[in-house]
Amino acid sequence: MSTHKKTVSYAQNYPGNALVLRKIAGEAEPDYVFGLWALLSQHDVRLTWGDTEVLCGRAIQFAYHRDGARAAEASVLQPTHALSRALGVTWSEMTPSSAIKAFEIADDWISDGALCLARFRQPLLVFGSSKAKLEPALSIQRLEYQLPESTLTREACDLHEWKVQLDESNSLLRVNYVEQPEPDWMALLPQIVRRAIANWRHESVAGVELGLDAYRAFAEDLRNPSVDFTTALSPSWMGPLLLGQVAGRTHMHQFLDRIAPRFGGKPRQILAKASSSYGQAASLWRDFQKHLARVYEKSDSGRSMRGPDAHVHHWRDNGRREQAAKVVEQAAVWEGRAILELAKLLGT
């Protein structure tokens, strides 16, 4: 009986760190920015997952479109650029011409001990490489609920993960160097405040509403019986986008609550009030789920599908949707109050 040698390589501190990430993912809604945080954590950057969302602008942005994918992709700030400016991060990003080439690049990076983030049909963390003679494979974590781990062959990647005819949008990302592992929060605060204010007041981008207008558009659609949220593909407002709103307001509340004591006098009072208002907004988003709860989605061979859930019919219940719309409007009031407080720091 013949045997075939199998050599497995892992990124530095993996697969142990994969288990740590899974525990954190239980309290978060993992996405591409979660993947960026994982890359930075491997380089001993002193950031929490919430801090990373604040620094890259995700925690301060509410984008809305009935098409969840358009809302998820909308951003007035490119996350990697924002983190580069804040921390002095140098990235390596490659756009492989094929799934086979992607495997070669990932294998080289894993051999260097580097964790890499793949942007295919779904974002994946690549933390290991198996050089089995018959079928080489990558060890991956999907950036979705609870970060499921699996292996990925070239053939499976080409068939299910690769963006066919859109090869230029397939990419691999790693961190090369971080200049400031410890963020200078005092220097970064004015920048974060300006971004929060700008996002709240921002005009729509390619039909996607932002800030206060996003809140208003979402509430209006909840009250419109002709809008059926249950037919949307992932990411949908019944799924990760909903939890993302809770996480964003929570992260801003926690960030401002931690940084306020570093100041004295009026600035400290302003930050404390803004933190409290974000906390109220986050609490209301959690209340939203009492009326329209999160519907979990699952992945099957790279294709997103919604599983059966008793909450789905709630999203067709006009009474529940009306109550949820009221909660959204109340959350907008509290986030607006936070913005008014932050504007006092800049005199705007």
31-86 pLDDT, tens digit each? 889 999 999 999 999 999 999 999 998 899 899 999 998 998 887 678 999 999 99
Q: What mean pLDDT is predicted for residues 251-259?
A: 96
At 301 the pLDDT is 38
Q: What mean pLDDT is predicted for residues 128-136?
A: 81
- Residue 40, judged by CB atoms within 10 A of its CB (0-12, 13-18, 19+), counts as buried
pLDDT in tens, 165-186: 555 679 999 999 999 999 999 9
Question: Given CA atoms 75, 39, 100, 3 in this order, what sign does their dihedral have?
Answer: negative
**Maximum CA extent, the chain:** 78
Which tokens is 181 given? 């592992």
**The pLDDT of residue 286 is above 90:** yes
Residue type present at position 142:
R
Least confident segment among 110-119, 226-235, 280-289, 317-326? 226-235
At 74 the pLDDT is 82
Q: Alpha-carbon distance 137 to 79, whole Å? A: 29
Q: Alpha-carbon distance 132 to 109, whole Å? A: 17
At 235 the pLDDT is 80
Q: Alpha-carbon distance 264 to 273, whole Å? A: 14
Taking CA atoms, 54 is separated from 82, 191, 250, 288, 297, in Å, by: 10, 11, 10, 23, 26
**The pLDDT of residue 294 is above 90:** no
At 40 the pLDDT is 96
pLDDT in tens, 91-115: 999 999 888 899 999 999 999 999 9
Which tokens is 118 given? 């793949």
Q: Alpha-carbon distance 130 to 9, whole Å? A: 6
At 307 the pLDDT is 52
Domains of the chain, earliest start first: 8-67+79-178 (3.90.70), 185-346 (no CATH)
Across the chain, how many H-helices and E-strands are there?
12, 11
Residue type present at position 237:
W
pLDDT in tens, 218-227: 999 999 999 9
At 4 the pLDDT is 47
At 121 the pLDDT is 84
Indicate the average pLDDT of the chain.
88
**The pLDDT of residue 1 is above 50:** no
Please calculate the CA angle 291-208-277 and round it to the nearest 5 degrees: 50
At 309 the pLDDT is 64
